[in-house]
Structures are given as structure tokens and as C-alpha cells.
Amino acid sequence: MSELHHECGVCAIYHLPGREASPLSPLQGPEEVSRLMPRMLLDVQNRGQLSTGMTSYNPDRSKLLDTYRRLGTVSEAFRLGHRGKAESIMRQYAGRAAIGHVRYATCGEDDVSYAQPFERHHLQKHKWFSFAFNGQLANYAALRDKLLAEDDHHLTRSTDTEIIMHEISRELSGDRRPSLIEVMHNVAGRFDGAYSLALLNAQGEMLIARDPLGVKPMCYAIEGPLLAAASESVALLNLGFQPESIRSLAAGEALTVVDNEFTIERFAPAGRTAHCFFEWIYFANVASTMDDRSVYLARKALGEELARMETVPKGDDLIVVPVPDTSKAAADAMAYALGVPSVEGLIRNRYAGRTFIEGGSGRVAKAAAKYTPLPQVLSGKRVLLVEDSIVRSTTMRVLLDRIRTVGGAREIHVRVACPPIIAPCFYGIDMSRIRELFAPPFVERGQPSEAMFAEMAAELGADSLRYLPVEAVARAVGKPADQLCRACITGDYPTPCGQKLYQVALDNYQNHSDSAAERTYEAAATTAG
């Protein structure tokens, strides 16, 4: 599934004065806690490599808030390979609080102006803020059209990030001085979609919020004077926070820092949750824990589910091979349960870049360069090739060809630790047209069956293909099915606008009007609103 565009990652850190120092306190002093931000962003860079940035708060400089944004990876943006230049950036943007972001584009252009955080300047400090978010608003079009219809408004970017910025600004307009929780409560009532959000204003106030359905993850921890939050727990664990102190923010909750004191409050009523199951299957770092469920243990359980379904006869020539890296936990667990060796028949070239950076034919070339089959491991073998998912099938087709022609495998049986992806995502994953997905043309002909899987295997060039059933996901994640967002494998969306967009996507697919140049999110924006 390395051809899939990822989501985004959000981080935040704050040094709270007046608290007893801890081993986690920054060596350079509380006014330079922002130095920890690049380290945190490195730990969530699996969620985005297109651009990165941070905003810091420092009451002792004229730019109370100052934002640094660049295209590229964290190392590239912060010049981590050049000590002098990295130090210069850290000095210029030093502050007692900071928020940060890594991005892939689910909407908008690959341009630095789309990089986050977004900063809105204002003469009044409580109206001067910067924020970063992970997710996507399914009702982006309706919010956009409403804004443009009022007064003499103009939007400079085709992105919901700008919409969120203006909606927050609307809440702060006039003589009102609403609390951060009030602002979040009011804008959440107008948002349909998924988001985790970090905001910092020029008064030194911070807000960390998770959408009312909890689609996107957000973790936090506090020890002594240091408070930190991130899309994934691994970023906090690697800062030195103890595992037991790291918690997931509940759906509809927000953490705020006001007057140097932090509180956790609910900004939306408690209701059903819709945690994105893909976080556990693919997106999250395998070392992370989200909503009290280990990502590693979830993937291990997926492999055990695959093992229970396996029908290929055992033998000395049968091996399990994971597609690196996110499939390894599932492959190892499957192999252990079957009593079959799990071996690395594919070696990932970590310097070839991520496949989904390129589009179209570029993905094919990237996929070919990204993995090296080992003939010494694969030659003459029957291979159970374990992949976390098949989305567009570009990478899988290339891998199957190379495993046969270069690796010399005798048979290749593809095992997918996920059900077939049959529907787009409108909550922050870049797969928004049905036509770009591999499974729909096969699944629309009837319920999954051995005959259907055989047809799909033949199309890919595999000897056999098997997916997990939909019900296996909830068992592996350890959450009730009604607490998960499984829209991309069921077509059942947790929000009204998400369901409307799916109908638009279905109509476009059935009418053969999918546009290769536009996502459903963009091409059908007005209709979906």
C-alpha cells in the first residue's frame, strides 16, 4: 500500500512555568522548548513528507508568534544535516511553546503556501493565532460557498485549512472574547469531517482538539513543566515520557493551556466514535498505541486472522514474505501460527523515496526501484506474500512481476491483511475516486467469493489472492465495529456529507465521468455541499 498518499501529522509542546523541573526539561531552558519540535516531527514523518513547519511562541520578541514552513522532509526543512544552519533556525524560532506539522496533500497544490501551520496575524493578541490540523472536512464546499457569498470575501487557496482558519477568525471577530473551548464548540458545530487540531495564539494560549467522532488520533502527556501532544504516542515516548503517562485525547475533547494552566474539557457531546481503522492497519507507526490499543498487537492479530484462513498446503518450499515495512508484524504472526518460515525476500531501498510521492507512471518506476527481490531466498519457493492492503494495485503488480522474474519464485499467493477497498475516503486519505481503486470492478459483481478472488489474482498476476473479511478488522483492532470508521471497506460513512460525497463518487463511476485530473472531493465539491 506504499502507493497510497498518507495523512498529516500534528505535534505540540509547551513549557509550563512554576512547576518542578523534570528530566524531560529542555537543556537550553524553558524559553527554548521549541527545539524539541523537529525531533517530534521526525517521529510522525511517516504521516507526511511533502512539507513541514512549526510556529513558536515567545513573549520576549516582537514576533510573539513566528512561523517557519518549508517543502520537504523534516531533515531537509530544518537543515538537520548542517549543524550551523539548523542551530540558526532553532535560535530564530526559539520559544516556550510550539506547534508543528508534517503534510501530504489531500487537497490543494504541492506549494509551500499550503504548508502548515497557517498563521493569521492581527493587532489584538487573542485574535493572532496559528494552527495546524490533520484531516479533511467533507463539507468543505458548503463552508467555502457560504464564506464567499458573504460580503466581499476571497479565498486564496483551494484547501479546507484556509476554511478552518476563517471559521476560527469568525468566532473571534468583534468585541467578543470567547474562550478557546467556546471557539472549538462553535466551529465543530459547522464542521462535517475528521480533524485533530493544534492552535497557538499570541497570548501564549494553546488548544489541542480531537474531532467529535475521534476519526483522527491525538495523544498527550505531561510530566513536570513539560506538556506535549502528537498524532502518535511514539513521538511522546521518544521524548522520554513514561508509557503510562501517555493518553489518547477522547473524541470531542480539547486540551487547553490558559494562564499557564492546562485543562481538558469536552467541546462536543459524547456520542458514537468512528476511529479510522486504517491507523492500526497501516498509517500509524508500529510502535504507537492509540485509544488503548497497540498498533503492533493489532497488526499481529491481523496476521493471525490470515493464518486461520490459509489453505495453501504446507511444505519445505513454502515461505511467508512481508512487503516491507508495515506488513511485517502481520506476516510474522501469520507465519508463526502456520509454522512456516517468515523471511525477508524483499529488501526495501530506504533511499528511493516513498512511492506515493509520484503519480501515474512515476509510481511504477518508484515501485520498481523501491524493492529488491532476493533470488537466494525466493528461487523455487511457494511464496505467501503478505501486504497490508491493495489500493490502486500499481505497486503489487510491479512486485509480483519482479518476484517472479528477478526472484525466481515458483508460486506467489497474495494475502492481504485488510478487506477489499471499495469506496473512497473523504476524511484525509488521498483515495477519493472509485475508478482509481483496484477492487470495485470485481466486488460490484457480487459478494466476495473464491471465484472473485481468483479473477482478481489473475488480473494481478498472482497464483491466488485472499483478503480478510470485513468483520476481522474489528476483532483485530479490539474495538466494536460501531466504534470504527470502515467507510472505505463498507461504503457506510459516519457523517452526512461523507455519505453524500460517496453518492457523487458512485454516480461518477457508474456514468464513467471520473476525472483523472480531479478528486471527487474537488470535482464534486458544489454537489456535495
Rg (CA), the chain: 23
**At 237, which helix (H) or strand (E)?**
helix 233-237
Helices 361-370 and 394-405, axial angle in degrees (round to 10): 40
CA distance 249 to 291: 8
3-state secondary structure of 120: strand
CA-to-CA separations, 201 to 252, 520, 525, in angstroms, rounded: 21, 34, 31
Contact 172, 183 (CB under 8 A): yes
Instruction: Provide CB contacts within 8 A for 32, sequence distance 6+.
Output: 26, 90, 94, 95
Q: How far apart are CA 526 and CA 64, in angstroms?
A: 39
Nearest Cα neighbor of 367 from 380, 376, 356, 378 is 356
Catalytic residue among 8, 11, 418, 488: 8
Strand-strand pairing, 118-120 and 97-103: unpaired
In sequence order, which residues have a C-beta less than 8 Å from that of residue 485 and are 6 or more positions away? 194, 213, 215, 274, 275, 276, 277, 427, 493, 494
User: In three state form, how does the secondary structure of 290-317 look?
Assistant: ECCEEHHHHHHHHHHHHHHHCCCCCCCC
For the chain, the first-to-last Cα distance in angstroms comes to 30
Rounded (5°) CA angle 485-489-492? 55
The Cβ of residue 510 has, within 10 Å, a number of other Cβ atoms equal to 11
108-139 core/surface letters (b: 16 or more CB in 10 A; e: else):
beeeeebbbbbbbeeeeeebbbbbbbbbbbbb
Tell me, yes or no, if 497 is annotated catalytic: no
Active-site residue set: 8
